[in-house]
Chain A
């Protein structure tokens, strides 16, 4: 079955540590996205990528980094510069053409500070 796989499901970060969240899709989608969701809040865009080897900052990119070396993979690193990393992180993908394509989500990673 085609889909988006995020791992791990739960992740704990120590002070000063960088952690990397994995996102893999086999939907053959060009575009991929990372969002953060805090309790009672809407999804906020961290980074997005329209094509391999290209990505852009979203609304809250500070303290995060990404790479897009392969079409199917878009890992997110939460760096030590992100002072409030506790949140639900969601990866999504969509077809590239046009703005009327919905995004499809992985099942998320919950990140907490130890």
Chain B
């Protein structure tokens, strides 16, 4: 089983739609979780950390389900500028050298 799994997509949605991505991780001892955004041929940029209680940043909401070992990202009111690949990132333990990256989910928002 892969350590961090994501549906590669692409998810094609119209502007204004709500879209959700899930990511599953294999190591139940995983300690911290992040969502990154990567535009085509660019570096990944931190979108948000994912906290146990769930967290929201504007149109973006992240949730963590430790029992089922998945994290989710919800994007409301999609904008054209949200088109990108979204990377799920998991830290397997408290050490800072063990980030594991998923391959990403591609989102395409159309007018």
A-side residues, CB < 8 A to B, are 31, 33, 35, 40-43, 45, 48, 50, 56, 58, 88, 90, 94-108
Q: Which of B54-111 contact A (CB under 8 A)?
A: 87, 89, 91, 93-99, 101-104
Task: Type the 1/0 row for B20-53, where 1 means its CB is closer than 8 Å to any CB of A.
Answer: 0000000000011010000001111110010000
Are B96 and A98 in contact (CB-based, < 8 A)?
A: yes
CB B63 to nearest CB in A, in angstroms, measures: 17
Complex Cα–Cα for A40 and B9 (A): 12
CB B24 to nearest CB in A, in angstroms, measures: 14
> Given contacts A43-B44, A105-B43, A108-B43, are A99 and B103 in contact (CB under 8 A)?
no
Are A41 and B91 in contact (CB-based, < 8 A)?
A: no
Residues of A within 8 A of B94 (CB): 98-99
Complex Cα–Cα for A50 and B39 (A): 28
Complex Cα–Cα for A108 and B43 (A): 6
Across the interface, A96 reaches (CB within 8 A) one of B31, B42, B89, B96, namely B96
Residues of A within 8 A of B91 (CB): 99-100
Complex Cα–Cα for A98 and B44 (A): 21
Residue of B nearest to A100 (CB): B32
Are A31 and B44 in contact (CB-based, < 8 A)?
A: no
Complex Cα–Cα for A97 and B97 (A): 11
Complex Cα–Cα for A64 and B94 (A): 26
CB A11 to nearest CB in B, in angstroms, measures: 15
Are A100 and B49 in contact (CB-based, < 8 A)?
A: yes
CB A17 to nearest CB in B, in angstroms, measures: 24
> Given contacts A99-B91, A102-B34, are A41 and B103 in contact (CB under 8 A)?
yes
Complex Cα–Cα for A106 and B8 (A): 24
